[in-house]
Structure 1
Amino acid sequence: MSVDSSRCFSDDEIAEALKYGATKLGLHDGFRSQQADALRAFFRGHDLFVSLPTGFGKSVLFQAAPFCSDYLRKNADGPGVSDPLKAIALIVMPLKSLISDQIHKVESFGSFGVDISGGMTDVIREGISSAKYSHIFASPESLLDEDGREMFTLLKNRHWICGFFIDESHCVSKWGSSSGDTKAFRSAYSKLGEIRSKLRSGVPAVALTATATREVRHAIIDSLGLRNFLWVNESPDKANIKHIVMKSSSKDYDNIFRHVIDGVRDKGLFCERTIIYCQSRKTCSEVYATFIALLPKDRHAYINMYHTNTENDVQEKIIQSMASPDGEVRVLIATVVGEG
């Protein structure tokens, strides 16, 4: 029996595959219960709607999927198969910074990932043809254009897509649809359901998000054509995170953010970490300039900006800093995703 043509695996076979996948990802205590439940359903052929909080480990699902799939196929086909097809996870992500971070993750597992959202190159073509990659990352736009069509053609020979994963799937509803006179921000998100017609029958689709209202959830399910799916859910509430929404008709930023500025001045690296979201790059720059003007030079390194015009190397440094509890960036002034 072959994993790419049938998914009738025993509980024991799936359990062994999950154990292998967890080891491959360096998860010495194994998968969390929600992750394991999702992966078991995945390998029984179910679509998934996964709504788990930020930091819970949703990405573990697409990280582990091809490794577990290859393990199942190897054991199903037996040792006589000299050149088995290699499993690939196809993952849609909205931002290149997120893709870059995930490719580094895949490499840390001793495998390779690739981003086709910037276009197909000879290096990428050779990598796909030589069965180099276990994970292919893409923007929705790239999957629907000529690059996507070429990728699917190349994959027919020596690969099979084990799962179609849509990360930050709330973008399907938030960005993919027009509303009144407002055009869709990224209309390609509304067409991701078309990708399923390019995949072999039975390939599960997995929608991943941290938050989704009932309305958004139904929009995602309908757009992606999820069927016979398992809903994996956990409350997004986190006691250690505070959300503050401030409305102001003035630009008196020095008084609005006085408590944050004072915290950076007094505590430096040990101040509370804060992200200030702005509606535009202009406002972002104005708030940043206020902090820089009111803080001594030895505190400037603790303040930074993040938006679409931020250089890639600076974006990478900010992401690395924010990922560390002791990272240098303590106050990040950023545009809301989708606003620039």
Structure 2
Amino acid sequence: MLKYPQLEKALKYHFGYDQFRPGQRQIIEDALQNRDLMVVMPTGGGKSLCFQLPALLKSGLTVVVSPLIALMQDQVEALRNNNISATFLNSSLNFYKVRSREEAIMNGKVRLLYIAPERLISDKFLPLLDVVKEKIGIANFAIDEAHCVSEWGHDFRPEYRQLILLKKRYPDVTTTALTATATDRVRVDIIQQLGLKQPSVHIASFNRHNLYYEVRSKNQRAYAELLEIVRENKGSGIIYCLTRKKVDELTFKLQNDKIAALPYHAGLSDDERSKNQTRFIRDDIRVMVATIAFGMGINKPDVRFVVHFDLPRNLESYYQESGRAGRDSEPSRCTLFFSFGDVKTIEWSINQKTDLQEKLIAKQQLRQVIDYAEGTDCRRTIQLAYFGERFPANCGNCDNCLYPKPVQNWTIEAMKFLSCVARCKERYGMLYIIDVLRGAKNQKITLNKHDQLSTYGIGKDKTLDEWRILGRSLLHQGLLEQTTDGYSVLKLNALSWEVMRKQRSVSIAVPIAQKISLEEGNAKAAEVEVLMHRLRSLRKQLADEQAVPPYVIFHDSTLKLMAQIQPKTLHEFGKLSGVGSHKLAQYGDRFLAEIQAYCQQQSLQPQKTNPVYYAPVDNFPSDTESTTLKLYEQGFNIQEIAQKRNVKTSTIIQHLSDLIEKNQSIDLNQLIPLERQKKIWQVLDVLGDIALKPIKDYLGESYSFNEIRLVKAKWQRENRKT
């Protein structure tokens, strides 16, 4: 096999990265050997680089097929910012701009062309492409969002089916198909529909290590919890809803609560939608509220949280939409609010379908989403199993793993369940099997004579929900399989027989009423945070000057390295991951000057090593905290201080809790009775440093968030000492 020892140098020179992400190098090597490729790589895994770098190392034009205008513009802006000649052709351009760009392509001045599928295969554009082929050559066709080719994918687009014309017209030009989500069935369909010739298939792990997954009950407090998530998580976020009406209502409520949020759905004009998206991408607003059905096509790497306030229609969509969080590999949060009201809404929509097969598949996909939401197994295990990937039982980064339900040995029950599937000759779905186990007296069981089976009625001691939990867990653990044709028929596999032969035990998690949420506890050095803020401000200024999104200048991860290492010279600056040759020349002096100014103000020497430094909390109160402290020392209570300062009492509570944590002279006994302090303290010792809500849930309604916040501040201070 050919080796390419210079690839890392090319990667650093053009894109600023020191090493490839998992799987990228092998894909690029195969691309340089002129092979057709089928690439399945999760959002944030670095798919784009797999065709962008080969485009710079091969002669000719690389044509990138993309279905979304916003995605084209994002990628082209990012490439141009790395001094790479790229352009796009779409409906946003007038006649003169199209002609100008076509001339640049014909003259060999463009390495990557982004184009929509319908324009690419049009009678008007194909003759131009023929000339390009003869004159400068075509290096590759990169089909992005390739799942759109397949009717079995979650976002089928008929125009993608016509792309097989490219293989027929240009048989010697390689094709790279790329997608973030594809089941086995969809992958096979993509290869067939695009006419790929003996493609090299690359399937990266679907596991996104940096994403925290949780499911919450959508009850009366759901909006308050949503608001807490938005306020606790710094940075940008996306909130998905089922309907346009819900998007508009939620946006209005968030704006009233002083959250910089805008709506995004198909009911808005093209101009308003485009403006809202641009403001979100450029960090002018924090939160985008969008319909699940309407694809945003954003390429924003620093989305810190994605919330599904309504239920998604299928797991594939949920994986892709939640995957828009943390594309820069930084810790991010994915929250799903679940209610059966949403299930009814989606069921109504499904029932409007006229095609029986489509209806069956949609219902099965909805059942899989419900199984995920109600599941007690590791969230990753459930998600990855959907894509055919096995995952160990505990990921350590989801609600079910961090706050597990009690586990019980259900091997005997599993043997009964699987034995019943076998005796029913693997022809039925889960509810039918449960009916047989529980001895249901219905006509179908009687007609099939399944009331005469040895397994009939042997599961009367368990409820319908308990058997359903077991059935789901068997599927999630890979101990049972299910058909994907819409009928959800249960099928045994080799592991099923191991259970029935007593060669494998089965444990399942038993649900409990309370669900505890995660509080991000990643303490950051005070000086790193201050410098990060200054560097973000500089980045925003430069981005606004160039009318590009801030992440096009540098990603957050690169800014973090600048703040941690504090380079002193251009040479040191150029070594940072994310700083390529062009960006070093374009931005190096400006960012170095900002770092140097900060160091001089702080009388600090730049650090020469790059470990993250976790500094103790600064004991000096801020100016506003000092004002509150003086009024408190004069004997005013919380309400009086708030009134004098013309702020909310919650603001004063926050000041006092911060002052307590900074070891200032706040007598907690004057604010909260000692017995109540002790009770809260005991709960904190048990639950640890987590969010306020689960602590309050544990204590009950008689305890307030304010009391808990104040005691928690003292608890944190004391625990830090030890």
TM-score normalised by the chain length of structure 1: 0.74
Q: Structure 1 residues 133 and 175, CA, compared in 2 at 3 Å: closer, same or farther?
A: farther
The residue number in structure 2 matching 1:300 is 259
Aligned to 1:283: 246
Q: Does 1:136 align with 2:113?
A: yes
2:199 is matched with which residue: 218, 223, 229? Answer: 229
Indicate the residue corresponding to 2:145 in structure 1: 168
Q: Is contact 1:167-1:209 (8 Å) kept?
A: yes
How far, CA to CA, are the matches of 1:334 and 1:247 in structure 2? 20
CA drift at 1:273: 5.5
**1:208-227 aligned within 5 A:** 208-227=178-197
Q: Does 1:205 align with 2:175?
A: yes
Aligned pairs (5 A) from 1:106-121:
106-118=79-91, 121=98
Cα RMSD (Å): 3.0
In structure 2, C-alpha distance between the alignment counterparts of 1:42 and 1:221, rounded to whole Å: 16
1:168, distance to aligned residue in structure 2 (A): 1.5
Give the deviation of 1:255 after TM superposition.
4.0
**2:142–2:178 contact (8 Å) kept in structure 1:** yes
Most deviating of 126-135 and 312-321: 312-321
Cα distance, 1:125–1:176 mapped onto 2, change above 3 Å = farther
Would you say the 8 A contact 2:239–2:288 is kept in 1?
yes
Aligned CA distance change for structure 1 residues 212 and 245 (closer, same or farther; 3 Å): farther
8 Å Cα contact 1:116-1:147 kept in structure 2: no
Which one has the largest radius of gyration? 2
SS class of match (1:29): coil
Q: Distance in 2 between matches of 1:33 and 1:161?
A: 28
Amino acid at match of 1:318: F
With 283-292 and 162-171 compared, the bigger mean Cα shift is at 283-292
Match of 1:6 in 2: none
Match of 2:159 among 188, 196, 212: 188
Distance of 1:24 and 1:193 partners within structure 2 = 35
Cα offset, 1:272, TM superposition = 7.5
Provide the secondary structure at the position in 2 that maps to 1:226.
coil
The Cα shift of 1:164 comes to: 0.9
- What is the alpha-carbon distance in structure 2 between the residues aligned to residue 313 and residue 273 of structure 1? 16
Q: Does 2:291 correspond to 1:335?
A: yes
Does the CA contact (< 8 Å) of 1:117 and 1:141 recur in 2? no
- TM-superposed deviation, 1:231: 1.7
Paired with 2:207 and 2:17, the residues of 1 have a C-alpha distance of 27
Matched residue SS, 2:254 = helix
Bigger Cα displacement from structure 2, 168-177 vs 225-234: 168-177
**1:38 Cα deviation from its structure 2 partner:** 0.5
C-alpha deviation, 1:90, in angstroms:
0.7
Q: Report the CA distance shift for 1:195/1:20 in structure 2 as closer, same or farther (over 3 A).
A: farther
Greater CA drift, 224-233 or 142-151:
142-151
> How far apart are the structure 2 equivalents of 1:150 and 1:116?
15
Say whether 1:315 aligns with 2:306: no
Please give the per-residue CA displacement for 1:106-141, whole angstroms capped at 9, x wherever unaligned. Answer: 212322222122276221222122212111111111
Of 29, 41, 45 in structure 2, the residue corresponding to residue 40 of structure 1 is: 29
In the other structure, the counterpart of 1:82 is none
1:192–1:338 Cα change, 3 Å: farther
Give the deviation of 1:328 after TM superposition.
Answer: 5.1
Q: Give me the whole-angstrom Cα distance separating, in 2, the residues matched to 1:337 and 1:162.
A: 35
Question: Which residue is equivalent to 1:94?
Answer: 67
**Residues 158 and 176 of structure 1, relative CA distance in 2, 3 Å threshold:** farther
Q: Work out the CA distance in 2 between the residues paired with 1:247 and 1:161.
A: 52
Residue aligned with 2:226, SS? helix
The equivalent residue for 2:576 is none
**Other structure's SS at 1:90 match:** strand
1:49 to 21, 24, 38: 38
Residue matched to 1:69: 58
Distance 1:125 1:112, change over 3 A: same
Give the letter for the 2:168 counterpart: S
Code of the aligned partner of 1:277: Y
CA drift at 1:280: 3.5
Match of 1:7 in 2: none
Amino acid at match of 2:2: D
Q: 1:150 to 1:338 in 2, by over 3 A?
A: farther
2: CA distance between counterparts of 1:24 and 1:148? 33
**Amino acid paired to 1:134:** R
Check whether the contact 2:63–2:141 (CA below 8 A) recurs between aligned residues: yes
Q: What residue identity is the alignment partner of 2:41? A: L
Q: Contact 1:48/1:206 (CA < 8 Å) preserved in 2?
A: yes
- Name the count of aligned residue pairs: 288
Quote how far apart the aligned CAs of 1:338 are: 4.4
Partner residue in 1 for 2:426: none
After superposition, the Cα gap between the structure-2 partners of 1:217 and 1:158, relative to the gap in structure 1 and judged at 3 Å, is same
1:33 shift after superposition = 4.7
Partner SS for 1:57:
coil
CA distance in 1, matches of 2:295, 2:19: 39
Quote the Cα distance in structure 2 between the aligned partners of 1:174 and 1:276. Answer: 27
Residue equivalent to 1:73: none
Query: 2:225: which partner in 1?
Result: 259
In the TM superposition, residue 274 of structure 1 has moved relative to its aligned partner by: 4.2
Task: Give the aligned partner of residue 11 of structure 1.
Answer: 2
User: What's the counterpart of residue 310 of structure 2?
Assistant: none
Q: Does the CA-based 8 Å contact 2:145-2:179 persist in structure 1?
A: yes
2:145 touches 2:178 (CA, 8 Å); kept in 1? yes
| Structure 2 residue matching 1:89: 3-state secondary structure | strand
Q: Provide the C-alpha distance between the structure 1 equivalents of 2:239 and 2:15, rounded to a whole number of angstroms.
A: 34
- Provide, for residues 64-109 of structure 1, a one-character-per-residue CA deviation record: whole Å limited to 9, x for no partner: 1221114xxxxxxxxxxxxxxxx21111112111101110122123
Asked whether the equivalents of residues 97 and 316 of structure 1 are also in contact (C-alpha less than 8 Å), the reply is no
Q: Which amino acid aligns with 2:31?
A: F
Cα distance in 1 for residues equivalent to 2:295 and 2:55: 34
Alpha-carbon distance change, 69 to 51 in structure 1, aligned in 2, over 3 angstroms: same
Distance 2:293 2:66 in 1: 13
2-structure distance, mates of 1:155, 1:134? 12
Contact between 2:37 and 2:201, CA under 8 Å: does it hold in 1? yes
TM-score w.r.t. the length of structure 2 is: 0.37
> Distance in 1 between the 2:169 and 2:249 partners?
47
User: In 2, are the aligned partners of 1:263 and 1:272 still within 8 Å (CA)?
Assistant: no
| One of 125, 129, 134 as aligned partner of 1:152 | 129
**Alpha-carbon distance in 1 for matches of 2:175, 2:29:** 14
Say if 2:47 and 2:178, in contact at 8 Å, map to a contact too: yes
Identity of aligned residues (%): 27
Instruction: Quote how far apart the aligned CAs of 1:233 are.
Output: 1.8
Instruction: Flag structure 1 segments of 5+ consecutive residues without an equivalent.
Output: 1-9, 71-86, 178-183, 322-326
How many angstroms apart in 1 are the aligned matches of 2:217 and 2:160? 31
- Give unmatched runs, 5+ long, in structure 2: 297-722
Question: Is contact 1:193-1:223 (8 Å) kept?
Answer: yes
Does the 8 Å contact 1:175/1:189 carry over to 2? no
